[in-house]
Structure 1
Amino acid sequence: MIEQVFLLAQNNEHMIEKVITDENVNFNHMIFNKNEGLPEHFSNSNVYMTVIRGLVSIGLDEHEIHEYSAGTVLKIPKGIKMNVKNLYDDTLELIVIKAPAPEK
């Protein structure tokens, strides 16, 4: 078998799942319930965030919070202050890809 196979968790529980972490890319799967999210931080690579379900509320740098629904892909450059939250009752599920993989 040439390909590698990775499985994503299928649930509604809060989690940040590091699916692939190698020298090329970081591929993360995240699930947040109401009032959960990531701690405010600066992006350490180019970030490609896909909303799988729910509605993400995201504040970038000093800009106002914007909200994006399922099916939306966001491209966020390296070095941007990020504040990612789920402010709603519906479960928020994200795929977050960092490319190139951040240096350690």
Structure 2
Amino acid sequence: MLETIYKYSTTNDKAVEKLIMDDNVNYIHMVFNNGEGLPEHFSNSNVYMNVIRGRLSLQLDDQELHEYEKGTLLKIPYNIKMNVRNFHDETLELIVVKAPAPHKYSAMQDS
């Protein structure tokens, strides 16, 4: 078999599944219920967030909070303060892709 198969959960329970964490890309599946999310942090690479279901509540740097519905793909640049939350009753499901992989990106920034 030449391909590698990755499976992610199909749950409504909170999940942060780091499916691919290699030299090229990080591919992460996330599920958050109302009031859940990630701790505030800075993007450590280019971040692509794909809203699969629900509504994403996202605040970047000092901008106002914005809401993004399913079917939305966002690109967030490197070193941006992020606050990722679900403030809605519907379960939020995201696919997050970081490219290049954060350890490669920080090495590129240092050179």
Structure 1 runs (4+) deviating above 4 angstroms are none
SS of the residue corresponding to residue 4 of structure 2 reads coil
Equivalences, count: 104
What is the correspondence of 1:1-104 to structure 2 with a 5 Å cutoff?
1-103=1-103
Give, in angstroms, the shift of residue 34 of structure 1.
0.3
Q: Which has the higher strand share?
A: 1
Q: TM-score normalized by structure 1?
A: 0.98
Identity value in percent? 62
Unaligned runs of 5+ residues in structure 2 are 105-111
Unaligned runs of 5+ residues in structure 1 are none
Q: CA RMSD in A?
A: 0.8
Q: Which has the larger radius of gyration?
A: 2
Give, in angstroms, the shift of residue 8 of structure 1.
1.1
Q: TM-score normalized by structure 2?
A: 0.92
Paired with 2:5 and 2:49, the residues of 1 have a C-alpha distance of 21
Paired with 2:43 and 2:100, the residues of 1 have a C-alpha distance of 12
